[in-house]
Every structure is written in C-alpha cells, then in structure tokens.
Amino acid sequence: MRLISLARAAFQAEKLYLRRSGRGYAIQAGYGVAAAVFGILMLVMLHIAGFAALVPSQGPVVAALILAGADLVLFAILALMARNPPRDAVAEEALQLRQAALNQMGDTATQALILAPLLRSQTLKKGAFGAAITAALVAFFNRR
C-alpha cells in the first residue's frame, strides 16, 4: 500500500513540476519573441537611416538613428530577460518531492525483494540464505 501512495506522490509532484516549469518557459519564449521583434525593428530603422543619409537634409537621419538607438536598448533588455529563466520555488520543491518519493519507492521495493524469500521459505535457514542472495544481487545491480 505504501508503494502505491509513494508512486501517487511522485506522479503528482512530476505533474506539478511540469506545469509550473512550462509556465516559466512560456514567459521566456515571450521575451525572446519580443527581443526578436525589436531586433528586426532596429535593423529596419538602420536601413531607413542609411537611406535617409543619402538625402541632403540631416533631419530624417538624426530621427531614424535616435529610434534605432531606442530599439537597440529595448532589444538588449529583452534579450537579457529572455536569457535568464525565472526561478519557481514551487516547481523546484515539486521536483525534490518527486525525487524523494522515487527514492523511497526504490527502498521499499528493495526491502520487499529482500524479505520475500524469508516469507516464502519453510525454514528460517533457507529463507535467510535466499534473503542474503537477493540482497547481494540488489546491491550489485544498484551499483551499476
């Protein structure tokens, strides 16, 4: 019964972790898209500035360069925000809970494997020998 409750706890923790971390990835992707938009706008404005530089009047060039500089600043800020994903304490705690439940599930299953020969055997000596062999095999496979 304990094994089932541990599996249920691990499943719930995994579900919570995926839901919470998915939200962070969506926010990070949104910042990346916004940074890409401002990066494209910066390139467009630089092209407009180059075009306007060919025009004898200096007014349009200065205005286009100011807008391109503002786009560059916004691009840099949004790109830095998209690079660092937000930390979610609930998602990290859910991940730790899942790992603890899985570790306890493994321990419970190992104990059941070791005690099974003792419970099935007719004599204590034969059951103890089977339990020792099972424990040695479990330890050997856990090291791999």
pLDDT in tens, the chain (144 residues): 677 888 888 888 888 888 888 888 888 899 999 999 999 998 888 878 766 775 666 677 777 777 778 778 988 998 888 887 777 788 888 888 888 877 777 766 666 666 666 555 555 555 566 666 666 666 666 665
The CA-atom distances, in angstroms, between 48 and each of 52, 54, 61 are 6, 10, 8
Closest alpha carbon to 106 in 80, 139, 131, 83 = 139
pTM for the model: 0.38
d(CA 76, CA 136): 58
**Do 60 and 52 touch, CB atoms closer than 8 A?**
yes
The CA-atom distances, in angstroms, between 85 and each of 41, 69, 125, 130 are 24, 26, 58, 51
